[in-house]
Structure 1
Amino acid sequence: MEFPADVKEYLIQQICMSESTQDAILLYRTGKHFLSGCKFIFASDRGTDPGYSVNREFSAGAVVRSLFHSSRLLVLDDLTLREMDGGGATFPIDYSISLDTQALSYLEPFMVGNVSKLPKDYAEVFKFVAQDNVFVDPIPYCQENLKNLRFPDKAEKIFNKIKSYEILRHLDGRLLSVSGIVRSKLTDLEIERNAQKHMSRMYMSLEDARLMERISFRQRFMYCQLLKMALINFTGSQDTVYGKVCRFLDFCDQSLATMGAREIAVAKRYFTQGQEFRFFGKIQKNKPDMFGALDGMAWDLWHVRQLEESMTLAPDSRARYFFPSLLTFDKRFIEVMDLYPLRSLAYVEGENMPMPFYSGDWFALVADYPEEQNSIAERYYSLDAKRSRQARRSGCEKNLDVIIDELERELIKISPGSKKLS
């Protein structure tokens, strides 16, 4: 078999896009000396059970969502393959279910019995979460609110949310299931101490300038793309859906030097359905909080990307793989996650750079006709186009704040009733 110059990238793509896991394993064996440190995860009907970090639906619409469409995952790396060749691979895994900000906000009223405004399946969800072998984390809420720790009144509210989370972590699941009573296995003092420790870690993160800059950049990168989507939809009433998609692709290619396949799929759905795509239901001209809504949507998009990145990490050093998922009650957000399930994801250990692959034909997802799909492939995904973006990416990233400012000013011109974020 002949390989192109960039062998590693070529092999990773071919393995991840293989028609079957057997084909993926065969190709991995053929080129594994080029794939040092590479790990692959595939949606599969057979394979590893990722604990409770699998797709799950509750009775009134709440869900747990992983990145994949299947309930099992096949993993592939050098050590696992050698163990399989020796008769079978057995290895430890780790998983966690992230509570999105909305889910965590329901905890406080749930704990005190103020449930009249909660979704109908709130009790069902929290009974599931309260099980001893179900592991949850509050990462989305904590990251969204790190900057708010600078304000004492907001910090107190955050502390109360974290206390509710600590109660949930040690909830007496049997008592809740049998009698509906919400009671922690810990004393009030232990809950207070745990919450204080959690807050201390958050304050340490707040003082970590590099971490805060990284979180801010990633969220604002999503915000920038959403601004452009809204601007295109507001100003392109005479454009075809394909025309709008191409305007967005041009922006991603030229201004950002990054083609986010998941975000492009979101843009295509928005250009097709408008506000019927509920994720964009609050994005209306002259709505005062439009920019705030876009900012919140940017956090949602980043949390999905964060799941991808989390798969490259090992919170527990004893685990060979980490499988994250997200719990949400937000039906608008669920539509976004369901839009783009993965067939596979690859990464190189230590690089924290996930390479996700859509479960389907991505070009057919973002363009309706073969000639449009071919045009997008030739214009934006040729080797020259990829190299051009790679050469320009650093400069584009440094210019992100300028790009955002320009987009906000353009949106204000056509939506003067909307107020920019302070």
Structure 2
Amino acid sequence: METRKERFDRLQLAFKLVMHHDTEQSFSDLIEPNRDTFHGFKLVYSTNHLESVFANTSLKDIEDECPTLKKYFYGSGLLFFSDELYDRTWNEGHVRLLIDYSLSLDSNAAERFRIWEDGKDLDKSEQDFENLVRFIKEGSGSGFNFDYSFFIIENYYDSMKSENHRPFNTIRALKRFDNLVYEKESFSIKNPVFNEIRALAGQRTIDTLYTFHSNPEIERFQQRRMLLYIVLLKAVLINQNKTASIESKLGELIEFCILDLEKFPKTELYFAWKLMRYGNSLRFFDPVSQIGKNTKGKLRGMSWDIFALRYQETMASKSYEGDFFIPFFASFDNKFVELTQACPIRAVLIDEVGENVITIQLDELEFQTELTNSVSSKMLVELNDSTKKLARMKKPLAEDKLIAIGNKLEVQLELLANKKTITKDN
């Protein structure tokens, strides 16, 4: 009987096999010699050597047809592994694969539905918005699934404020969109017709918000987003040392995560590494290239943008009616789109029994190499200890602790911003 630690060690080995697998080699070259290692796990693997079809079009063409929509995985096609699927494919030659897919909306995309439903002008984004509407309504013949749970998570606290009507009005518009009268040939983006009145959509919105507000999982999402914000904030502070090497900066950040946060948040560290290593060439990070009085607010917004990708990782690890779940995301923010293209996802490795998910980036090997080169031998032993890894992963995030650490870092940021302002004035 395999122990929890043994299963986790095997998952780590599977992760390393994917990370080191040459993208030019076949999927079977990865799986076939390593069936024992991948046993009991599920793998979604992205490649440029085939085209997968979703919503009656290829995965490759979706972004061209609908510029606001971005696929989660980097390649033109997807390959899937599970024990049952692989064995059936081997025996039958071809199997029908059950796949769930859904389109999530960030706030700027969701709020365009509110503006549109309210009869206001979308200006220059009208054509892109129309493409998005048509894609949702025509995908797979009967429509492309979409959800706005991420918008509710991002606007969780604002939606509780009685004086802030924006989240409610946005969700109500999305509810009415469920009942848009749509005919491909006659539909006009300027004159939408809904077969549900606002009052009924409003009641459904109240029910939805009540469900979200009473769901403890939403609080956990808030904590995970706060963890991401703290890691980014610490990275920005560390990055002010212009003479330190990337290894030195990354090593300091890793020690902070292990010693202060008692976590090794791989995904969060990956984006912090992107900031430190490639921040000068990515427009997304421009707002925090120089510290000023607005840096904190910009970092908070940035953390929500990146959390949109983190949320898709969560979605990709789920399976509802299908065997696999493939997320897509819609955004009108060009800088965010550029970030997604600079952080391509190669694979998602899922252990449903052990409740572990590992996202593997296309540049994972470069990232992991720099991580290894950045820490002391003592810290490396700490990071590679499977028992300690499992303990860190299972330890819940303490909200009070996150708030205290976040407040301390924000004070440091404010002091640094004030110092820079005084220096500039002089």
Q: TM-score, normalised by structure 1?
A: 0.81
Q: Structure 1 residues 409 and 378 mapped into 2: Cα distance closer, same or farther (>3 Å)?
A: closer
Contact in 2 for aligned 1:127/1:177 (Cα 8 Å): no
Contact in 2 for aligned 1:309/1:352 (Cα 8 Å): no
Mapping of residues 138-287 of structure 1, within 5 Å: 138-154=148-164, 156-174=165-183, 179-184=188-193, 186-189=194-197, 192-208=199-215, 210-234=216-240, 236-272=241-277, 274=279, 277-283=282-288, 287=292
Q: Structure 1 residues 119 and 293 mapped into 2: Cα distance closer, same or farther (>3 Å)?
A: farther
Residue 303 of structure 1: how far off its partner (Å): 1.8
Mapping of residues 23-42 of structure 1, within 5 Å: 23-31=29-37, 35-36=39-40, 38-42=41-45
Mapping of residues 70-81 of structure 1, within 5 Å: 70-81=75-86
Residue 47 of structure 1: how far off its partner (Å): 7.5
Residue 80 of structure 1: how far off its partner (Å): 0.7
SS of residue in 2 equivalent to 1:90: coil
Residue 244 of structure 1: how far off its partner (Å): 2.7
Q: Distance in 2 between matches of 1:49 and 1:364?
A: 31
Q: Distance in 2 between matches of 1:187 and 1:120?
A: 23
Contact in 2 for aligned 1:11/1:31 (Cα 8 Å): yes
2:14 alignment counterpart: 12
Amino acid at match of 2:154: E
Residue 194 of structure 1: how far off its partner (Å): 4.1
Mapping of residues 327-338 of structure 1, within 5 Å: 327-338=330-341
In the alignment, structure 1 residue 92 sits paired with structure 2 residue 98: yes
Amino acid at match of 2:245: T
Q: Distance in 2 between matches of 1:31 and 1:286?
A: 47
Mapping of residues 66-145 of structure 1, within 5 Å: 66-87=71-92, 88-111=94-117, 112-116=119-123, 118=125, 121-131=128-138, 132-145=142-155
Deviation track 1:160-179 (CA, whole Å, cap 9, x = no partner) reads 21222133334344357664
Amino acid at match of 1:201: T
Amino acid at match of 1:188: E
CA RMSD of the aligned region, Å? 3.3
Point out where structure 2 has 5 or more consecutive residues left out of the alignment: 421-426
Point out where structure 1 has 5 or more consecutive residues left out of the alignment: none
Contact in 2 for aligned 1:279/1:336 (Cα 8 Å): yes
Identity %: 20
Q: Structure 1 residues 272 and 31 mapped into 2: Cα distance closer, same or farther (>3 Å)?
A: closer
Contact in 1 for aligned 2:349/2:358 (Cα 8 Å): yes
Amino acid at match of 1:343: R
Comparing 382-391 with 349-358, which one deviates more in the overlay? 382-391
Give the total of aligned pairs: 399
